[in-house]
């Protein structure tokens, strides 16, 4: 392999990069891969989920600036590059009936126009591999679903010089593989849940699994299992850097690290598109690429 390997991870909000595929990114950085996170929105409408910061007048009045600083800290911990697409957080609508989305938010943007911004990033960075969310957004947040739509359009559009002319968007380029993050999958959740119970420990996953059954959530096809247990601590440090979004004493961190590493030492992906031959299941997002250049 003579060409520099490059990975682009497209996420909806600051903090998503640290909760979805962060250990994978840190692993690849350690191997010399260039990793770029593209964050679609500023997270301006995100709730303050850390009880220690709820009611803090400075944080509430400056949430956009605070979340940008949190992203800077997480980026440094992971060792990745990071760029913003510049769209406005749509918020998570709640209620019955659901309220309309706010005017000017990311989820209401024209998909092809929004994809143009990502096409520029792809053509400039030239990643062989792109990761994002599946058509359900991983969970049905409007910004996650829009991130899927925009990434799919940009993945194809990066080579389309009619829709996205080179004099405006840069030289055409075709990434070779596209993956969906599938870290929150049932096999992993069940394995960790049972491991905790077998050791006489309380599991935070009982309610998760019940909701899984209640909502009849469709199981995804896991194609790629990246071994990255050595970077779980880095992942957690990056997640904690998003102080407004994560309670360091909360459920995210209730499974002892040694159990995580022993029982489920990988992060999982679903291969959506590939222009190279690869055998499934994979253990490397660059499978079929390293040996073909």
Binding-site positions for Zn(2+) read 13, 16, 144
Structure tokens that stand for 107 in this block: 């989820």
What six digits make up the tokens of 139? 């969970």
The rounded distance, in Å, linking the Cα atoms of 52 and 248 is: 10
Q: Which residue ranges are tagged as binding site?
A: 13, 16, 144
């Amino acid at each position: 392999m003579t060409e520099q390997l490059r990975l682009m991870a497209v996420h909806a909000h600051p903090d998503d990069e640290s909760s979805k595929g962060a250990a994978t990114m840190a692993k690849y950085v350690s191997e010399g891969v260039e990793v770029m996170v593209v964050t679609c929105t500023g997270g301006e409408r995100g709730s303050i989920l850390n009880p220690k910061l709820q009611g803090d007048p400075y944080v509430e009045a400056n949430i956009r600036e605070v979340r940008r600083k949190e992203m800077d800290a997480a980026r440094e911990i992971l060792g990745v590059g990071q760029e913003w697409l510049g769209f406005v957080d749509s918020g998570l609508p709640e209620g019955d009936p659901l309220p309309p989305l706010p005017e000017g938010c990311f989820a209401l943007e024209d998909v092809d126009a929004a994809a143009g911004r990502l096409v520029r990033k792809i053509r400039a960075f030239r990643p062989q591999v792109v990761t994002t969310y599946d058509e359900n957004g991983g969970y049905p947040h409007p910004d996650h679903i829009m991130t899927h739509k925009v990434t799919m359009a940009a993945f194809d559009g990066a080579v389309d010089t009619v829709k996205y002319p080179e004099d405006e968007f840069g030289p055409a380029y075709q990434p070779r593989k596209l993956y969906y993050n599938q870290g929150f999958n049932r096999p992993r959740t069940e394995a960790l849940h049972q491991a905790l119970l077998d050791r006489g420990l309380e599991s935070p996953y009982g309610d998760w699994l019940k909701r899984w059954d209640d909502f009849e959530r469709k199981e995804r096809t896991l194609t790629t299992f990246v071994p990255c247990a050595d970077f779980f601590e880095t992942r957690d440090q990056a997640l904690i850097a998003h102080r407004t979004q994560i309670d360091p004493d909360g459920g995210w961190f209730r499974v002892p690290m040694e159990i995580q590493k022993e029982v489920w030492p990988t992060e999982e992906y679903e291969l959506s598109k590939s222009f190279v031959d690869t055998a499934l299941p994979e253990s490397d997002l660059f499978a079929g690429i390293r040996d073909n250049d």
